[in-house]
Each structure stands twice: as structure tokens, then as C-alpha cells.
Chains A and B, each alone.
Chain A
Amino acid sequence: EPEVTQTPSHQVTQMGQEVILRCVPISNHLYFYWYRQILGQKVEFLVSFYNNEISEKSEIFDDQFSVERPDGSNFTLKIRSTKLEDSAMYFCASNLGDSSDTQYFGPGTRLTVL
């Protein structure tokens, strides 16, 4: 069964450093998403991406964040200058489109900012 994969599973970085989180969505999916979950809090939407551009983003997704689909398979989330409060589990998801369609989630990347 196709699945969404994410690398790395755990990333430790120093405050102020740039990090890139990588995702490989399911191959025939068209919409891609990033969510995050700070420990003990809700899973929160960050951004959705379709047709090589951002289709929707939350207030969390400020100028420090960017997304890219550099090739036909990868979908990346870049945090330009990490802060302590960026420590969280980051989930990638994908689906074929529209809000009734199931979003398939990856296993997540745990980001720890020291």
C-alpha cells in the first residue's frame, strides 16, 4: 500500500540554524500539507500546496517558513532560522484533493531546537 514517508525521523538543531524537513507524498496525489504538533498540544495546520504553489497557510506559517517541491517526488518544509518554540513533531500529508478526500499522513519528524 502506498504511504507517505518523511525524513529524518528526528532532527536536533541549534537555535538560529536552518532546517529542511523532507517528505515523499503518495505518487498520484496532488495536494500536499504540513502540520505540526507541539508536545501536549493539538495537531495544527501549517500550509497546503497545490500545482507548485501555496494554496492556503495558517498564521503560524510566517516568513521563517517555506515549502518547495524541488522535483517530482519530494515536498520540503524549510525553517530558515529556528527558534526554541519550533520544537515539535512535523507531519506531512497528501491527498488527491478537496476537503472530503482522506489526507494520508507520514510518520512525522520530531524537531528539537536547543
Chain B
Amino acid sequence: AQSVTQLDSQVPVFEEAPVELRCNYSSSVSVYLFWYVQYPNQGLQLLLKYLSGSTLVKGINGFEAEFNKSQTSFHLRKPSVHISDTAEYFCAVSYSGAGSYQLTFGKGTKLSVIP
């Protein structure tokens, strides 16, 4: 079984400052890693995902994440945030083998960008 931990439930940051949202996972098998964003009153939207290859993954809206296998982490970063980045961010994993396609989510991190 896999699990995902997002240590920060809320992260306030000033506009144009950098941000890092932390995600750690535990799994006894290989996994794929995802970051989703949820804007108010909307569904979950994929920001980026790591399947294999380069450990630095770039996504939409200027976000990137780095997969670190030894630390079992997949932290999300953005060098300069905008007001429009205010949303809830979810880290998720799925089993990379056959037969199980479910996503396992973390509890989410609410990013508040302060003008």
C-alpha cells in the first residue's frame, strides 16, 4: 500500500515570492507521482506528473517538481507566485504496475498568495 504526506496544510506567501509545497510518499512498489490543483468551486486539475526519466518535471503555470527517490519526495516549486495561484494543491501517487489505477492523495496544501 502507498501513502502520501503533505506536511503543510496551509502556506501563506507574498506575491512574487518563491514557494515550495512539500510532498513525501511511502510505497513498497514503484509509483507514478502527480500534483493536482483545485481552484475554488472547481475540480482537480493536473499540474504535472512524474512517470520516469528526468527527475525535474515542468508543469503548467510555471510550476515544477523534483522527484527524489532516496528521500521519497516530490516537492512542488514555483520561483514567483501570483495572486491567481491561490488554490489547494494535492500530491498523489499511483501504482506503476498493472491492475491498480487508483490515485492515493495527500491531505492537500492551501496556498494563499498575499498581495
Contact = CB atoms under 8 A, between A and B. Distances in A.
Contact of B90 (A33, A43, A45, A106): A43
A42 B107 contact: yes
A98 B41 CA distance: 28
Contacts of A105: 36, 43-45
Interface residues of A, number: 28
Contacts of A43: 44, 90, 92, 103, 105, 108
B43 A102 contact: no
Which of A6, A48, A98, A104 is most buried by chain B, counting CB atoms within 10 A of its CB?
A98
A106 B43 contact: yes
B44 A45 contact: no
B55 interface: no
B: contact size bracket: 20 to 34
B42 A45 contact: no
B104 interface: yes
Given A99-B101, A105-B36, 18 more contacts: A31-B101, A41-B107, A42-B105, A42-B106, A43-B105, A45-B103, A48-B102, A56-B99, A93-B44, A99-B95, A99-B96, A99-B97, A99-B100, A100-B94, A103-B46, A103-B103, A104-B46, A105-B44
Interface of A: 4, 6, 31, 33, 35, 41-45, 48, 55-56, 58, 91, 93, 95, 97-100, 102-108
Interface of B: 32, 34, 36, 41-46, 49, 51, 90, 92, 94-108
29 contacts: A4-B43, A6-B43, A31-B101, A35-B103, A35-B105, A41-B107, A42-B107, A42-B108, A43-B92, A43-B105, A43-B108, A44-B105, A45-B102, A48-B101, A55-B101, A56-B100, A93-B44, A98-B98, A99-B97, A99-B100, A100-B94, A102-B34, A103-B103, A104-B46, A105-B44, A106-B43, A107-B41, A107-B42, A108-B43
